[in-house]
Amino acid sequence: MTATADEFDLGGLRLSVGEGRRTELGVRIGSLVLGGERYTAEPERVPVKLEVSRMTGSGYALRLLFQATLEGSCMRCLKRASPKVEVEAREVDRPGGGEELQSPYVNGEKLDLAAWAHDAFALAAPVKVLCREDCAGLCPVCAADLNDLDPARPEHHHEPALDPRWAKLRELKLE
């Protein structure tokens, strides 16, 4: 069983320069809001692999690996969607090395693992959350689920709406 941690003590590893460690932890990712819809990561506590290396001078090189399922509504047909999301994220924290070498998730010797995992999950999430790759969505006229229709028998159709600006011309009787 993996230990659970939303915050990780990097100093507790007591790493010497050039030394590294791998550990497995359970982290709560939390929910995401994509396109106005709320999505959750499953399982509630996602097992993650954390690799920590002590850099020359001071600071850490960090790598985070995990896989979770994004649970919510399909953005096309509104049925349940649950795509798997694989995350591989890297961070470098080297105090005094400039802004690009300071991780927003490391404060002193403490790593905010939950915030890092949440942000990495959000960045790795698909742009469109779909129930399946070829989801046809809903009909824009009557909201019928186009996935349930038989493609061999195209019985679903609508008459094109007439442009009301031409209504008076339709009243003309030309002989």
CA-based nearest residue to 47, from 5, 13, 90, 89:
5
Extract the residue ranges of the chain whose pLDDT is less than 50.
Answer: 1
Q: What is the DSSP letter of 118?
A: H
Q: What is the pLDDT of residues 1-49, one digit of tens each?
A: 466 678 888 888 888 888 899 999 999 998 999 888 899 999 989 999 9
68's tokens: 């979770």
Please give the full DSSP string across 74-93, using - where no structure is assigned. -TTT-SEE--EEEEEEEEEE
CA-based nearest residue to 83, from 93, 94, 91, 71:
71
Tell me what pLDDT residue 11 has: 85
Strands 84-93 and 60-73, by their bridges, are antiparallel
The residue extents of the domains of the chain are 3-124
| Residue labelled with tokens 């998730």 | 105
Tell me what pLDDT residue 151 has: 64
The beta-strand segments (E) located in the chain are 3-4, 8-9, 20-28, 31-34, 37-42, 45-54, 60-73, 80-81, 84-93, 106-107, 110-111
Sequence-ordered list of residues with C-beta below 8 angstroms from that of 112, at least 6 positions apart, any chain: 6, 7, 105, 106
Tell me what pLDDT residue 153 has: 62
Tell me what pLDDT residue 91 has: 94
